[in-house]
Amino acid sequence: MYNPLLTNLENGIFTITINRPDKMNALNQEVMNDLNNVMDEVYKNTDIKSVIITGAGNKAFVAGADISEFAGLSQQQGMALAKKGQDIFFKIENSPKPVIAAVNGFALGGGCELAMACHMRIASENAKFGQPEVNLGLIPGYGGTQRLPMLVGKGKAIELLLTGNMIDAATALQLGLVNYVVSQEQLIEKAISILQIINSKAPVAIAKCINAANHAYTGIKGYETEIFGFSECFTTEDVKEGTAAFLEKRKPNFKGK
């Protein structure tokens, strides 16, 4: 049976693998629902001390939200989609147990946003990061406009958001977007070695550190602005053209309306 999320619990470390390798692990609603449920399990299950999120295969962590689900969305539906995605990613960010993104390839759009919602990011040498939504006539909707400036500073974040350019793992390390870059073979091992240290500490202290650090950044209005901007894009012709062009494997022809 096809299982969009694979999970494994070993020595208190819970590994969640997004498992759609033929679609670059793109986040469709099935994956998002499962991610939401599995995070409830993380909160509840006392055997889980910490979490790794990674992608299946060796090409992609997550290449974004599933663009095929964007076709024909209304403003209202765009708003609901972004709100739901942000809520699930808040659940990751506010998890009392540390979550590391083991970024094993492309982390684009929703994939970059998922990695940024985690508490730390470790990348393999082949990883690539970016927020290419503008290529679709869109803006990020799962927190990217808020968390990217927090992690890399506003100037570089704006450049990445407005150009849609991808950066490689070495650049991500230099910008502070990731904590470490290692070979693909060492990726999970590196995440485990950090989590083993954290798992030996007092869980209440760990949870309170996460909570306090999260409070250093309270961008509530910013997140609302993002939902509104994301959903307004769905009233444009350009988003229809951008998403259709991607699915038809051609360059978009934007008209500015």
- 76-113: buried (b, 16+ CB within 10 Å) or exposed (e) per residue? eebbebbbbbbebbbbbbebebbbbbbbbbbbbbbbbb
The helix/strand/coil state of 142 is: coil
Cα 119 to Cα 41: distance, rounded to the nearest angstrom: 18
Instruction: Tell whether residue 116 is a contact of ligand COA (CB under 6 A).
Output: no
Q: Given 41, 69, 133, 237, which residue is catalytic? A: 133
Binding mask 18-57 for ligand COA (x = CB under 6 A): -----xx-x-------------------------------
Q: Is 89 in the site for ligand COA (CB under 6 A)?
A: no
Q: Which is nearer to ligand COA, 14 or 246 (CB)?
A: 246
C-alpha–C-alpha distance, residues 206 and 97, integer Å: 7
**In the annotation, is 113 catalytic?**
yes
For this structure, is 189 an active site residue?
Answer: no
Residue 49 backbone dihedrals phi, psi, to 5 degrees: -100, -30
Q: Min. distance of Cβ 53 from ligand COA in angstroms?
A: 17
Strands 180-182 and 106-108: unpaired
Nearer to ligand COA, 42 or 65 (CB): 65
Place of tokens 């919602």: 117
Which residue, 66 or 238, has its beta carbon nearer to ligand COA?
66
| 173 touching ligand COA, by CB under 6 A | no
**Which residues would be at the binding site for ligand COA (CB under 6 A)?**
23-24, 26, 63-68, 106, 108-110, 132-133
The residues annotated with a catalytic role in the active site are 113, 133
